[in-house]
Amino acid sequence: MQAQPNVVPIAMVLPGYLMMTGVISVFIVCQFFDVIPVFYARKLVHMLSGWLLLNSPYTAVTRPFMVVFAIYVVSHIWMADTYKQLFGLPPYRFARRGDLGITIYGLIVMTWAILELPFALLMPMFFADPLAAIVGKAVRSPKWAGDKTIAGSLTVFFVTLLTTPFLPSIWLRLAISCLTSVLEAYGVIRAVMRSVCVVPPGNRVVPRPVSGWQPMVQLIQ
């Protein structure tokens, strides 16, 4: 009897190809369609990329795509001039050069894909911060921590609560949600991200050659 070839059902591979097409499409639309304001383009890329990753299984095709695309995005942000000269690709209009938020996002996605960790654990990162920024901008409410509004912080709390069903108890979810909203409001999360990249608040970074033991970035006041 002749052996039947191994055929992968289309239902198993289709979500992966839809994810790859969707992620690339999101970046293209938010990059080249100026009708979408920069603020909302940035948040749409953040949330829609996360949603597509959540709905895509790991396969021999999707895992390399996630890693390679994350490397491309991060390197494009830090080497925008090089990409423009070599490939004619303009800088992302929704990102700053050396953008730490997108850099950390990309590095986390790359690490998750390499280790095959469930993206469900990243749901708060995918949705809490961008939704809080949108609500904080759209809804008028009192400010309570610097420029952070009550509406924005409540959004962080409830979105984190709704996106952490994997935690073992509702009390832990409430505690984590409360802590996350407070840390986000006071800039602790952003400060940690900055410290990881050796960039204190209020500074920007430019590349600097390494000679002996020196930081790899130069701080510009």
- In this predicted model, what pLDDT tens digit does every residue of 95-116 receive, in sequence order? 888 888 899 999 999 999 999 9
Which regions of the chain are under pLDDT 50? Answer: 1, 3-10, 194-221
| Amino acid 219: pLDDT | 34
| Amino acid 20: pLDDT | 84
| Amino acid 189: pLDDT | 60
| Amino acid 113: pLDDT | 95
| Amino acid 12: pLDDT | 52
Q: Is the pTM of this model over 0.85?
A: no
CB neighbour list of residue 161: distance below 8 Å, 6 or more residues apart: 173, 174, 177
HSE, side-chain direction, 13 A CA sphere, residue 216: 4
Q: Are 132 and 156 in contact, with CB atoms under 8 Å apart?
A: yes
Calpha distance 155→46 (Å, rounded):
16
Domain ranges within the chain, ordered by starting residue? 10-117, 120-196
| Amino acid 15: pLDDT | 67
Calpha distance 50→19 (Å, rounded):
10
